[in-house]
Amino acid sequence: MVMKLKTKLSIGLSFLFVVIFTFGILAIFYINRLSNDSKMVLKNNHESLVYSNNMLKALEDIPVKKTAVTILENNLVNQEKNITEPGEQEATQELRKNFTELLANPNDPTNYIQIRQSLQVITDLNQQAILRKNEVANKTAEDATLWLTVIFVILSLITFTFVINFPEVISTPVRLLNEGIRAIADKNYSKRIYLKQEDEFGELANAFNTMAEKLDEYEHSNLAQIKFEKSRIETIINQMKDGIIGLDSKNNILFLNEVAQSLLGLKESDIMGKYAADIALKNDLMRSLLQDEDKKELKIYADSKESYFNKDVLNVTDTETVIGQVIVLRNITPFHELNEAKTHFIATVSHELKTPISSIKMSAQLLTDNRVGNLNTEQQELIKSITDDSDRLLKITGELLNMSQVETGNIQLKLQATDPLQIINQAIQAVQFQAQQKKITLHKNINENLPAVLADTEKTSWVLINFLTNAIKYSAEETSIDIAAYIQDNHVIFTVTDEGSGIDEKYLPKIFDRYFKVPGTQERTGTGLGLSISKEFIEAQNGHIGAVSIPGQGSRFSFSLQFA
């Protein structure tokens, strides 16, 4: 039968209770017995001796004291009431008889002798009783001492054995479990606990051994794989052309790959485990990586030239808790070089194409002059087609030239105080013919006395023309377009509102991106650069550009410029 720890504790405590209770009961029993024996000696025999002594003294005083007879009589009465020993009754009766005779004949000396003899008998009987009862009390005391001593010794031995052995039942398993837990904490998964106890501690030891066995099995089965994966990841990271920096949750350096070491001018072994902010105090690039969180692109001198890197900060999480960060510096220098080459190519080609296209357009216009000769209908249509294509090519080359200015950062602005009405009239005049072809009415809704704005007239008019051209292109025939200008927060707001098909809300954030075209439109001739260039022109003038649209109801494009 398996005895549980709770049962052992209950038995141990019950045993201690029985020991204390038994010893206490025996002690109380013998103490009460001795007390009763002492009371009997005092109450019975001692009082008889006192009465006898009193009567003996009174007997001697009878000749000289009148009260002696009364004293003797009183003590005799008390003695008659306190007869406790065998033979004491007869002696007391004899004493009463002799005392009566003495009262009848006080001068007879023989009565005195007989009274003394009776008193002596009573005294002897009580003294013998005291001796006998004292022996009984002594015997009781000896028995009590013997039994209490025997019981005390036995219980002491049992208790001593219990005190010595029982704590081991608890302390040994606790000690062994503590040692086992410390070993597991030190990754010593071969540690085992062996207990012969078949109680809760034994079950706990078995559970511990099972846990240690599983951990040992897991450690040996995965350690080689983990080391291999770690080496493979380190090899991959070091082979990457991007700089990679690993930080823990406290911003301490975990690792650097070779590219990051080259960019920072630091060795991984020198800064491993150090606080990144301390490294940043003496390293400008590290300081820039830690502080410029919103700065995505960095210019760094690397590979003997100015290089460009795109910084990405990736959070490392464990069950939604951030446990570290990885800073990735992607080398985008080749893309910058390709972009610059593309920009130069586009600028060169656009500039070279602009002159011959203008010549073609001029030649087509000359052919329409009657002084050169009359044209038949088919020839007129061909010349119109040539003129339209020339206009379209000139627009595209103009956009490409403007984009090359934007990309190279060489936007040339002639900022001056400009009347907003001048900008609006110039734009309306440029698109009037296109609007008439689709029977679209252009409405001006302009506040009076608008203040002058600080703007480049040509480029701002180009933006407004682009807005109007798009509005005409995507509006149905016989509709209207509203051009408005009003004051708001020290700015003049220019808006173009059409009644076209509108733009889906999900595409609005992208319409000012380069080369973006709204999916589903039938327009194939555009470059997707017009709105992007417009955004760059307006923002270069410290303005703001935006658009709102409701599908099926139309769109409203707007930009703002500061007061001059």
Higher pLDDT, 303 or 479: 479
pLDDT at 173: 75
As a whole number of angstroms, the distance between CA 354 and CA 356 comes to: 6
State the first-to-last Cα distance of the chain, in angstroms, to the nearest integer: 102
User: How crowded is residue 389: how many other Cβ atoms within 10 Å of its Cβ?
Assistant: 15
386: confidence class by pLDDT, cuts 50, 70, 90? confident
309 and 243 Cβ atoms separated by less than 8 Å: yes
Mean pLDDT value of segment 14-37: 72
323 and 249 Cβ atoms separated by less than 8 Å: yes
pLDDT digits (tens, 9 = 90+) for 339-377: 665 555 555 555 556 567 677 767 777 777 676 677 777
Most confident segment among 298-302, 336-340, 515-519: 515-519
Q: What residues contact 40, with CB distance under 8 A and at least 6 apart?
A: 133
Mean pLDDT of the chain: 78
Q: Of 8-17, 176-185, 472-481, where does mean pLDDT reach its minimum? A: 8-17
Q: Does the pLDDT at position 218 exceed 80?
A: no
453 and 420 Cβ atoms separated by less than 8 Å: yes
* pTM to 2 decimal places: 0.40
Mean pLDDT value of segment 191-220: 75
Nearest to 58 by CA among 83, 80, 81, 75: 75
Share of the chain above pLDDT 70, in %: 79
Q: Does the pLDDT at position 235 exceed 70?
A: yes
Higher pLDDT, 524 or 182: 182
pLDDT at 111: 77
User: What residue segments make up the domains of the chain, in order of their start?
Assistant: 5-173, 240-331, 336-406, 413-562
DSSP state of 203: H
User: On the CB side of 299, how many CA atoms lie within 13 Å of its CA?
Assistant: 3
pLDDT at 183: 82
**In the numeric block, which tokens belong to residue 19?**
């020991």
Mean pLDDT value of segment 52-60: 83
pLDDT at 396: 65
Q: CA dist 247 to 198, 244, 277, 285, Å?
A: 50, 10, 11, 15
Instruction: Please identify which residue in the block is written with the tokens 């709770």.
Output: 6
Q: Does the pLDDT at position 1 exceed 60?
A: no
As a whole number of angstroms, the distance between CA 241 and CA 114 comes to: 142
487 and 535 Cβ atoms separated by less than 8 Å: no
pLDDT at 293: 59
Residue 27 amino acid letter:
A
361 and 307 Cβ atoms separated by less than 8 Å: no
Q: CA dist 189 to 181, 209, 219, 226, 533, Å?
A: 10, 9, 8, 17, 67
pLDDT digits (tens, 9 = 90+) for 138-148: 787 777 788 87
Higher pLDDT, 406 or 131: 131
Total residues belonging to the chain: 564
As a whole number of angstroms, the distance between CA 345 and CA 125 comes to: 151
Q: Of 305-314, 388-397, 431-440, where does mean pLDDT reach its minimum? A: 388-397
544: confidence class by pLDDT, cuts 50, 70, 90? very high
pLDDT at 439: 92
554: confidence class by pLDDT, cuts 50, 70, 90? very high
pLDDT at 471: 93
H/E element, 423: helix 420-437
Most confident segment among 88-92, 400-404, 528-532: 88-92
493 and 558 Cβ atoms separated by less than 8 Å: yes
As a whole number of angstroms, the distance between CA 527 and CA 545 comes to: 20
As a whole number of angstroms, the distance between CA 414 and CA 462 comes to: 14
Q: Does the pLDDT at position 295 exceed 60?
A: no
Q: Does the pLDDT at position 250 exceed 70?
A: yes
Question: Domain 240-331, what fold?
Answer: Beta-Lactamase (3.30.450)
422: confidence class by pLDDT, cuts 50, 70, 90? very high
400: confidence class by pLDDT, cuts 50, 70, 90? low
Most confident segment among 218-222, 227-231, 474-478: 474-478
* 45-48-49 Cα angle (round to 5): 90
31: confidence class by pLDDT, cuts 50, 70, 90? confident
Does the fold of domain 413-562 match that of domain 240-331? no
pLDDT digits (tens, 9 = 90+) for 135-178: 777 787 777 788 878 877 887 787 777 777 766 667 777 777 78
What residues are paired with 255 via a beta bridge? 246
Q: Does the pLDDT at position 35 exceed 70?
A: no
pLDDT digits (tens, 9 = 90+) for 437-449: 899 999 999 988 8
pLDDT at 176: 76
Q: Of 16-25, 59-68, 459-468, where does mean pLDDT reach its minimum? A: 16-25
Nearest to 353 by CA among 405, 403, 412, 396: 396
29: confidence class by pLDDT, cuts 50, 70, 90? confident
pLDDT at 181: 84
492 and 563 Cβ atoms separated by less than 8 Å: yes
Most confident segment among 334-343, 514-523, 553-562: 553-562
pLDDT at 279: 82
Nearest to 171 by CA among 191, 197, 144, 136: 197
As a whole number of angstroms, the distance between CA 494 and CA 560 comes to: 6
Question: Domain 413-562, what fold?
Answer: Heat Shock Protein 90 (3.30.565)
Instruction: Please identify which residue in the block is written with the tokens 């009415």.
Output: 441
Q: What residues contact 431, with CB distance under 8 A and at least 6 apart?
A: 442, 465, 468, 469, 472
pLDDT digits (tens, 9 = 90+) for 62-107: 777 778 888 888 888 888 888 888 888 888 888 888 888 888 887 7
| DSSP secondary structure letters along 58-104 | HHHHTTT-TTHHHHHHHHHHHHHH---STTHHHHHHHHHHHHHHHHH
**In the numeric block, which tokens belong to residue 358?**
């203008």
H/E element, 312: strand 305-318
